[in-house]
Structure 1
Amino acid sequence: MTVPATTDWQTLSEEIKQLGRTLGFDKIGIAGIDLAEDEARLERWLALKRNGEMQYMAQHGRKRSRPAELVPGTVRVITVRMDYWPSDCADAQATLDDKRQGYISRYALGRDYHKVLRRRLRKLAGKIEDRVGPTGYRVFVDSAPVLEKALARNAGLGWIGKHTNLIDRTAGSWFFLGELFTDLPLPADRPVQELCGSCTACLDLCPTGAIVAPYEVDARRCISYLTIELKGSIPEEFRAAIGNRIFGCDDCQLVCPWNKYAQRTTQRDFAPRHGLDSADLIELFGWTENEWASRTEGSALRRAGYAGWLRNVAVALGNAPTSSGVVKCLRNRANHESALVREHVAWALAQHGIH
């Protein structure tokens, strides 16, 4: 860092926030790097093995909760929020209710958010250096061991709700987060008041009971984990509860009262592609691997992999109303080269009385 000693840090902080808004971020805050309480909660969560097969959650020791160990020299974290609820999108609940359609978590309908936010954060870092000269920084968007929600909370971007998502009282929770680790000693913002109160809507509605207590999620039961992070078989005890959710789950956000204040995005990058906001399950199950690769290019959907995609859609088809079309498309995959796919297709056919 070569910033002049006469730098007005408060003024610089305000300028950074204004710069961020011009780059399309909906809110910006600055956090200190003390995450001791969050570190203790993370270690308890890992000890209870609630991370499931997400071994990466434990691979980096305490770097996840100690920013200065992850990026030496870090003294502050600039945290940004970008809203993603599409302004032109099929009604989420209507799609969930129509078991002939596949439900995809709203964040994954458009362009991969990692790329969108990362590019803009790098621009922000460049503009900061235009003002103060070379600095030490790193940009992260869900791409490194970072406790992003805890940092965003400490930066005043919202509070962590009982479903463990961040909530902003004027914008709900339909937004992405990104971080800029910096060696600039900017004044840190203050956390906001937690406003979940006595509400337990998210706990009550969770289809698989993954929110095991307020502010505690067991990933091994979470539909987002089961359909995205889990690479093997989905436990049979959860398959019926998954319904038609083929990539992620939004139920805890859909039921949250604070999302009546959610801001619809005007970012074209997050607009639904290929009609995926209300797509027919039979059509999705018929995609060849080349079609899947083409239609998920630049999308977060790639994380599930093609076999994982077919596994998920097979489960949804097992939960769909019985029809000749559903049975036919499942039979077409009954001898698929992937044992994972074959297993879930067999289960789905059994739900329609075919063994």
Structure 2
Amino acid sequence: MQTDQLKQEIIQYAKQIGIDKIGFASADIFGELKERLKRQQELSYQSGFEKGSLEERTEPQRLLPEAQSIISIAIAYPSRMKNAPKSTKEERRGLFARASWGIDYHVVLRERLEKLAAFILEQVPDAVNKVMVDTGELSDRAVAERAGIGFSGKNTSIITPEYGSFVYLGEMITNIPFLPDEPLEDSCGDCRKCMDACPTGALVGDGGQLNAQRCIAFLTQTKDFLPDEFRTKIGNRIYGCDTCQQVCPKNKGIDFHIHPEFEPEHDIAKPKLIPMLQISNREFKEKFGPISGAWRGKKPLQRNALIALGHYKDKTAITEMIEVMNNDPRPVIRGTAAWSLGKIGTEEAFRAIKDAMTKETDEQVCFEMKKGLEFQKQSAVN
């Protein structure tokens, strides 16, 4: 079969199985990306979640020696929650980023790509394919950009003409030499709304470069104590951050509800904060296990929930937070609870921190307790 004909058949089949965009790229070395990644390493901008060596991340033939082409796919997800529950004084809620709404996109995209690979094998029995979604070595964005799925915006997201940046990306390396598609022209122009709106200044340079160490989406996934400067920045975010997408003019009016798998469940996408503090492992897996935001386990999410309650100065949470501060076996959770109790700032909260300090043996937790008590001094001055 001619590759041009096969390409058209693949495009048609992709539509049938729920792939919203598909593009074809060469498997040449990603030279420009390699230089950018080198700079990231030199500047310590990486998150630490990256997989593979610099060569594996930029040279497709390191991953599939027979590589001739890469097929890139995009699937749209919603940007708005229908009938979203309100966070009230009596019942404060946190927020998961849109990319974590519904079923884990890694599962959905991998299933689509594996169907696509099986279809290709039916047409070309000696085809060799390698499927990747987010956790692979290749940069999904670099592949999508080369394949004409969209252009890479200053917010480091791929922006498509149809769906804005609200798309999941995945790819398949193959030994079939498809004719590559044309990349799209960058149309950010002089706009820098995403850079100006980023709460932590994580978008650096002239845009298009991310200091992951300052990105809230990354910080909400870390497991240690959150650095002080970011605690007031994350607000009620439990996982991820959408600010740079929300302010992007290319996303204005964009909201697609094409795939039922990505529709958010209210009590998962905007969970009540207090019940998260002492949720058991079994309850956590049952409730949050199917979403992508659960991949780091419950500890970072509980830490973020404690910070969110401090952000809200939620006095209704004090009893639960004191319980956590006194009895949780994890120092990060005890210490964060103490800091947040200080942030709430009632006499009951300060008294509980002082009592807990007399029994606490962990130095870092004691340090957080002292920081919590600093809020008492600040309120006395004010």
Whether these two folds match at TM > 0.5 is yes
Match for residue 229 of structure 2 among 215, 218, 237: 237
Distance in 2, matches of 1:290 and 1:320, equals 28
Where does residue 217 of structure 1 map in the other structure?
210
1:79 equivalent to 2:39? Answer no
Look up the match of 2:158. 166
Partner residue of 1:321 out of 306, 313, 323: 313
Instruction: Note the 1:255-266 alignment, pairs <5 A.
Output: 255-266=247-258
Against the structure 1 CA distance between its residues 95 and 30, is the aligned structure 2 distance closer, same or farther, given a 3 Å change threshold? Answer: farther
- Confirm or deny that 1:112 pairs with 2:104: yes
Does the 8 A contact of 1:99 with 1:321 survive in 2?
no
CA distance in 1, matches of 2:320, 2:151: 45
Q: Relative to structure 1, is the Cα distance of residues 167 and 95 closer, same or farther in structure 2, using a 3 angstrom cutoff?
A: farther
* Cα distance in structure 1, aligned partners of 2:253 and 2:11: 22
CA contact 2:47–2:212 (8 Å) conserved in 1: yes
Instruction: Tell me if 1:294 matches 2:286.
Output: yes
3-state SS, counterpart of residue 64 of structure 1: helix
**Which deviates the most, 62-71 or 272-281?**
272-281
Residue 305 of structure 2 is aligned to residue 310 of structure 1: no
Paired with 1:36 and 1:95, the residues of 2 have a C-alpha distance of 47
Shift of residue 87 of structure 1?
A: 6.7
Matched with 1:42 is 37
Check 1:52–1:180 CA distance in 2 against 1; reply closer, same or farther (3 A cut): closer
Q: Deviations over 1:193-221 (max 9, x none)?
A: 11111111111111111112311110111
For the residues of structure 2 that align with 1:187 and 1:101, how far apart are their CA atoms? 49
Tell me the distance in 1 between the aligned counterparts of 2:156 and 2:81: 27
- In the alignment, structure 1 residue 61 sits paired with structure 2 residue 54: yes
- Which ranges of 4 or more aligned residues in structure 1 deviate by more than 6 Å? none
1:130 corresponds to which residue? 122
Q: Shift of residue 327 of structure 1?
A: 1.7
The 1-side partners of 2:80 and 2:130 are apart by 32
Q: Distance in 2 between matches of 1:224 and 1:113?
A: 16
Q: Among 173, 185, 193, which residue is 1:193 paired with? A: 185
User: Percent same amino acid at aligned positions?
Assistant: 34
Are residue 334 (structure 1) and residue 325 (structure 2) matched?
Answer: yes
The residue identity in structure 2 corresponding to 1:48 is: L
Q: Distance in 1 between matches of 2:83 and 2:65?
A: 45
Pair 1:156–1:52, CA change in 2 (3 A): closer
**Measured at CA, do residues 32 and 200 of structure 1 come closer, stay the same or move farther in structure 2, by a change above 3 Å?**
same
| Contact 1:111 1:300 (8 Å CA) reproduced | yes
In structure 2, the residue matched to 1:23 is 17
Q: Cα distance 1:63–1:132, how it changes in 2: closer, same or farther (>3 A)?
A: same
Equivalent residues of 2:91, 2:272 under 8 A apart? no
Q: How many residues align?
A: 344
Is contact 1:86–1:266 with CA below 8 Å preserved after alignment?
Answer: no
Q: Which residues of structure 1 form unaligned runs of 5+?
A: 1-6
Note if contact 2:84-2:266 (Cα within 8 Å) is conserved in structure 1.
Answer: no
RMSD: 2.2
**TM, length-normalised to structure 2:** 0.85
Rounded to whole Å, the distance in 2 between the matches of 1:99 and 1:318 is 14
Corresponding residue SS for 1:63: helix
Distance 1:132 1:273, change over 3 A: same
- 1:273 lines up with 2:272 in the alignment: no
The SS at the match of 2:131 is strand
Structure 2 gap segments, 5+ residues each? 351-372, 374-382
**Corresponding residue for 1:14?**
8
Q: Does 1:33 align with 2:27?
A: yes
**Distance (whole Å) between structure 2 residues aligned to residue 45 and residue 199 of structure 1:** 23
1:318 is displaced (CA, Å) by 1.2
Structure 1 range deviating more: 148-157 or 326-335: 326-335
Q: Which amino acid aligns with 1:8?
A: Q
1:17-67, CA deviations, whole angstroms, 9 ceiling, x for partnerless residues?
11111110000000112311111111111111111443x45x423110111
Partners of 2:303 and 2:333 within 8 A in 1: yes
SS of residue paired to 2:295: helix
The structure with higher relative contact order (CA 8 Å, sep 6+) is 1
Aligned residue for 1:242, secondary structure, equals: coil
